[in-house]
Amino acid sequence: MNFGKKYISLQTVIIIFVVTVVIAALTATGILLASATADNIEKHQAEKAMGIAQTVSAVPLIKKSLEENGDPKEMQAFTRKIRQDTNMLFIVVMDMEGKRKTHPNSELIGKPFVGGDEIHALKGKRYTSIAEGTLGPSLRAFHPVYNDEGKQIGAVSVGISLKNVKEAVNKSRNIIYAGMGVGILLGVIGAVFLARRINRILFGLEPYKIANLLEERNAMLESVREGIIAVNPEHTIVVANAEALRIFQKAGLPPDPVGKKVDEYLPVSRLIRILQSAKPEYDQESDINGLPILVNRVPVKVNGQIVGAISTFRDKSEMKALAEQLTGVRTYADALRAQTHEFMNILHVITGMVHIKEYDGLEKYLRKQTRLYQSETGSVSNIVKDPVIAGFLLSKRSYARENLVKLTFSSNIPLPVSADPNTTHHMITILGNLIENAFDAVKENTEKHVSVTIDYDGLACTMTVKDNGKGIHQEIRDNIFQKAKSTKGPYNGFGLSNVRQSVRALGGTITFETEEKAGTSFTVKFPYREKDE
């Protein structure tokens, strides 16, 4: 991660970029528009001058005066009025020799036209030109004058001061440049607004920080042991980490779920319901093509709006294996603790009897303890042949003796070792939870009795755990095997749920009989195959 490097903020980059684009675009547009406008103004002025020249050339007064070489005063008065009305620089009527018949300066009447651009007009052509005459540089329009027989008798020249043309062009350019300035100002304001808006959308994060967060997110997604998938509001899978892909592959689903509809790829996900209800679901049991999983589902909200949903899940068989390991450690620790306490009590008795030199009594005591140990070991070995289960039952007997519980074992015949090692683990789970529940049920009794019966008929094993406790409350009997259903408070109620799962794994059944203040009896029956010698 490069947090030490200095970066220009995204907000600054956006403002600079947008302002630069706006200035460049408006400048180019303004230049082209100003140029086109100048051309249009010049063209318009030229057309205006030509129109006036054409109109003047068709006036009968002008024709008559030129044809009869009459008094120019009448033409002078007429052209002066037209010039003043149209704001022209000059309107000059000339004869075929190029001599002026009208002019703004009366002293120049009768003198030759100045500029040298009138020659083509006296040859019958109409056109515009730019030249400098007695009134300065001007834009001129020339139009020939014909009599009624179609013979040319002179020409008309209408001039517009180039200064006026340039002023009109500059005025239009100034308007364009003012518009450009306003556009650039609005562009700057818009750029600042856009930059701040994007900054808020990104929660003030700079691109390099977003890139680092994305790398960290990907690393976290790939490092966790839970499968993770996420869907967007359109129900499309947008994220699936490596563990999710591994579980999907294990369940026989096709690879690469990203981009597919979740209800088509994984109908059991229930993420669409989460999007609709906005209510999370935790520790839910499900399965993918028969593969058991434990699932959490939560909606994703941004500013109070649901923008997606996430599901995290884990292979329940792997969790179960881990739980069995933890249960085994706990059972072993409980057994060691109980046996340690019992052994310490025996040592205290032996030490005391040695101290008082009561050797005869000590000998009797040791024989009694030996017979007790042999009796207990023998009684358990007469019930089960599996050393793991036998050790487990012995640990429970030590624990029961320490807590003043009378724990008895019985069977019709010794249970042989199972052909399936998993059966042993399930039996320990079943017996462990049922015996623990029985111990809890009798802990407030004056006389505490718990009995365990293991019967085998060659095809099936039947295990019964009975206590003389207070019984199961009526209100929880119907859902006693559901997870987290317990009268022992929070974080309890998982024992019987685990028992039911193990019973199902063994393909067996579980039933119970209970009576308040009289005790409870659980009976588990499942197929059992003896291990071949």
Residues 304 and 384 in one domain: no
- Residue 269 inside a domain? The answer is yes
pLDDT at 484: 46
Contact 158, 140 (CB under 8 A): yes
Q: Which of 56-65, 200-209, 322-331 has the lowest mean pLDDT?
A: 322-331
What distance in Å separates the CA atoms of residue 321 and residue 338, rounded to the nearest whole number? 26
Q: Which residue has the tokens 């057994």?
A: 335
Domain end, chosen from 295, 315, 335, is at 315
Specify if 332 maps to a domain: no
Same domain, 215 and 179: yes
- pLDDT digits 0-9 by tens, 366-375: 676 665 555 5
Same-domain status, 205 and 66? yes
Residue range 182-210: average pLDDT?
A: 79
Q: How many CB atoms lie within 10 A of CB 166?
A: 14
Helix or strand (DSSP H, E) at 304:
none
pLDDT digits (tens, 9 = 90+) for 407-445: 888 888 888 988 888 888 889 889 988 998 899 899 888
Residue with the larger pLDDT of the pair 517 and 362:
517
Only one residue has tokens 């012995």, namely 394
Q: Phi and psi of 309, rounded to 5°? A: -150, 150
CATH number of the domain enclosing 477: 3.30.565.10
When the pLDDT of each residue in the chain is averaged and rounded to a whole number, the result is 81
DSSP for 247-276?
HHHHTTPPS--TTSBHHHH-GGG-HHHHHH
Domain that holds residue 485: 380-527
Q: Are residues 181 and 239 in the same domain?
A: no
Residue 341 lies in a domain: no
Does residue 418 contact residue 386 with C-beta atoms inside 8 Å?
Answer: yes
Q: Are 81 and 147 within one domain?
A: yes
- Residue 326 maps to a domain: no
Total number of domains in the chain: 3
In a domain, 108, yes or no: yes
More confidently predicted of 451 and 397: 451
Residues with Cβ within 8 Å of residue 461, at least 6 apart in sequence: 415, 427, 454, 455, 525, 526, 527, 528
Q: Which of 40-49, 266-275, 300-309, 348-357 has the lowest mean pLDDT?
A: 348-357
User: Does residue 393 register a pLDDT over 90?
Assistant: no
Q: Are residues 130 and 202 in the same domain?
A: yes
Whether 424 is covered by a domain: the verdict is: yes
Rounded CA-CA distance 51/142 in Å is: 10
Check which CATH number belongs to the domain holding 288 and give it.
3.30.450.20
- DSSP for residue 476: G
User: What pLDDT, on a 0 to 100 scale, did the predictor assign at position 89?
Assistant: 87
Q: Give the Cα separation of 163 and 219 in Å (integer).
A: 74
Let me know whether 283 and 197 are in one domain: no
Same domain as 264, residue 128: no
- Examine residue 488 and state whether it is found in any structural domain, yes or no: yes
How many angstroms separate the first and last alpha carbons of the chain? Answer: 63
Residue with tokens 């005391």: 352
Residues 416 and 461: their CA atoms lie apart, in Å, by: 10
Q: Are residues 267 and 416 in the same domain?
A: no
Q: Which of helix, strand or coil describes residue 210?
A: helix
Last residue of some domain: 201, 223, 245? Answer: 223
**Residue 409: what are its φ and ψ, rounded to 5°?**
-120, 145
Same-domain pairing of 513 and 444: yes
Residue 248 lies in a domain: yes
Q: Are residues 498 and 519 in the same domain?
A: yes
Last residue of a domain, one of 223, 248, 265: 223
Clarify whether residues 185 and 240 are in a common domain.
Answer: no
465 has a pLDDT exceeding 70: yes
- Write down the pTM of the prediction: 0.39
Question: Average pLDDT, stretch 152-161?
Answer: 89
DSSP string for residues in 47-79: HHHHHHHHHHHT-HHHHHHHHHT--HHHHHHHH
Output the CA angle 130-132-133, nearest 5 degrees.
125
